[in-house]
């Protein structure tokens, strides 16, 4: 016995990129196993699908802007993936959510045609191509008079700050704090969301809020409309308050992001894919320019997963998959794959202004046009591990994760004939 298992494809990472790549591969008939040290940034990010918000100016029509970006930045993930694939990936995503475990819950918005803008917790208007249906009524153009509701018990959401910034942007917004007894040392939106799952609690919440509302036609709440049936909760709350209601993304934990994880992991299960959580991949077993197997830290003894294809969806600097050490050397930690976009020695890696374009921000695992890693013929790369993008400035992180993962599964299919045959 050598603690080794064989699959048609092994995916490293359980963020949006890993889950989508694995689901697509499994839907194509492959036996897929996802190995992840932990869950990915779904639980932290807003749960919206941001395709391209700034390029570098605010983008109104993501479709044409994508084409221009691809033409001017050939190393950008969108250039490698192609605008057509982005559109297909979005369509697949919308259909997958619709068929998912949350009744009535879906993603809506202008997609690639017309990007919407939705209030953030700070009261800025964030561009997104698709948002959960629970956020839809927050689209800036359709907002009339707006009331931002919060509770002092949630220390990371300040309705007056949000409303003041929206008002500064010309939106008629006012803040309404509601007292909620949350009896917790560390109250957050997740705790409230679990209560929103209970219709009785929802009714009491609405009864407390209703008298505080005035002539507003829209109510914005921190994203906490429940985990089990957010669509039903939205309809219920809208009906009780007699107004359009929408969710505003919050600091972590992200309730909409948790729903997204639930939806994507259930799609993976339905397609027959396997997920091993807590399995940190520490190295690869190489044979020439190919990776034969990867090694995970399991309890007691390392475990080995062999496959003809590997997908590296382990994220970038934020997830710790790429690291800059104290000697200023950047490296990909699992397979030691070559990076691209690291500023040469002596050049600045960072600039003082946090929100500016950071020289290191575009670093990632070097890939060819088909998203195969340089120096590893059977390793494909997707998501935040890819080089060439500045997702924090472009507002493109989720779009890149989704589209590149979708593309990776296509490439494996093309290279292997059909992924299921790849083991032969």
Ligand X SMILES: Cc1cc2nc3c(=O)[nH]c(=O)nc-3n(C[C@H](O)[C@H](O)[C@H](O)COP(=O)(O)OP(=O)(O)OC[C@H]3O[C@@H](n4cnc5c(N)ncnc54)[C@H](O)[C@@H]3O)c2cc1C
Contact residues toward ligand X (CB under 6 A) are 12-18, 35-41, 44-46, 50, 280-281, 313-315, 318-321, 334, 383-384, 391, 395-398, 401
Q: Please, which residue, 227 or 361, has the CB nearer to other proteins?
A: 227
331 part of the interface to other proteins, by CB under 8 A? no
Q: Residue with structure tokens 């590997």?
A: 310
CA distance 224 to 298: 35
Name the binder of 391 from ligand X, other proteins, none, CB < 5-8 A by kind: ligand X
Establish if 194 lies at the interface with other proteins (CB under 8 A): yes
Kindly calculate the radius of gyration of the chain based on its CA atoms and give it in whole angstroms.
22
φ/ψ (deg, to 5) at 28: -80, 0
Using the minimum distance from each CB to other proteins, give the nearer residue, 181 or 347.
Answer: 181
Pattern of binders to other proteins over 208-227, x per CB under 8 A? --------------------
Nearest approach, Cβ of residue 340 and ligand X (Å): 16
107-108 vs 131-132, strand pairing mode? antiparallel
Residue 87 CB, shortest distance to other proteins, in Å, is: 30
* Dist. CA 342–CA 228, nearest whole Å: 43
CB atoms within 10 A of CB 88: 15
The footprint of other proteins on residues 232-261 (CB under 8 A) is 252-253, 258
Of the pair 135, 237, the CB lying nearest ligand X is at: 135
Nearest-angstrom CA–CA distance, 383 and 367: 12
CA distance 6 to 176: 57
What are the φ and ψ backbone dihedral angles of 329, each rounded to 5 degrees? -100, 130
Distance CA 56, CA 67 (A): 14
Phi-psi region of 170 (alpha: psi -120 to 50; beta: other; left: phi over 0): left
Span from 66-74, 164-172, 182-190, 378-386 in contact with other proteins (CB under 8 A): 182-190
Interacting positions 127-146 with other proteins (CB under 8 A): none
Binding site for other proteins (CB under 8 A): 1, 3-6, 33, 36-41, 43-44, 183-186, 188, 190-191, 194, 252-253, 258, 266, 269, 274-280, 296-301, 303, 319-320
């Amino acid at each position: 016995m050598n603690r080794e298992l064989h699959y048609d494809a092994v995916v490293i990472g359980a963020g949006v990129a890993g889950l989508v790549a694995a689901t697509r591969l499994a839907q194509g008939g492959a036996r897929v196993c996802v190995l992840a040290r932990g869950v990915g940034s779904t639980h932290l990010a807003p749960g919206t699908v941001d395709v391209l918000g700034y390029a570098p100016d605010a983008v109104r029509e993501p479709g044409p802007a994508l084409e221009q970006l691809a033409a001017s930045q050939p190393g950008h993930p969108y250039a490698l993936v192609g605008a057509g694939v982005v559109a297909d990936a979005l369509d697949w995503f919308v259909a997958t959510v619709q068929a998912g475990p949350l009744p009535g819950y879906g993603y809506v918005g202008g997609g690639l045609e017309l990007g919407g803008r939705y209030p953030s917790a700070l009261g800025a208007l964030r561009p997104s191509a698709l948002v959960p249906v629970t956020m839809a009524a927050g689209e800036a153009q359709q907002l009339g008079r707006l009331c931002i509701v919060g509770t002092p018990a949630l220390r990371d959401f300040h309705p007056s700050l949000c409303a003041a910034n929206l008002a500064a942007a010309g939106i008629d917004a006012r803040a309404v704090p509601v007292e909620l007894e949350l009896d917790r040392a560390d109250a957050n939106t997740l705790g409230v969301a679990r209560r929103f799952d209970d219709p009785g609690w929802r009714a009491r919440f609405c009864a407390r809020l209703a008298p505080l509302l005035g002539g507003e036609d829209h109510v914005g709440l921190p994203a906490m409309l429940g985990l089990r049936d957010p669509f039903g909760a939205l309809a219920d709350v809208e009906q009780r308050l007699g107004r359009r209601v929408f969710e505003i993304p919050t600091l972590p934990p992200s309730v909409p992001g948790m729903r997204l994880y639930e939806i994507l992991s259930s799609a993976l299960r339905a397609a027959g894919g396997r997920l091993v959580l807590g399995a940190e991949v520490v190295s690869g077993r190489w044979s020439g320019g190919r990776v034969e197997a990867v090694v995970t830290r399991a309890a007691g003894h390392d475990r080995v997963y062999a496959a003809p294809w590997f997908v590296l969806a382990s994220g970038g600097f934020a997830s710790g998959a790429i690291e800059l050490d104290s000697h200023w050397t950047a490296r990909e930690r699992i397979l030691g794959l070559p990076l691209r976009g690291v500023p040469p020695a002596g050049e600045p890696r960072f600039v003082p202004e946090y929100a500016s374009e950071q020289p290191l921000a575009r670093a990632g695992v070097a890939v060819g046009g088909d998203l195969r890693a340089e120096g590893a013929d059977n390793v494909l790369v997707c998501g935040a591990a890819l080089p060439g993008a500045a997702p924090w400035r472009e507002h493109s992180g989720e779009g890149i994760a989704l589209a590149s993962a979708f593309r990776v599964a296509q490439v494996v299919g093309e290279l292997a004939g059909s992924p299921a045959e790849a083991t032969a």
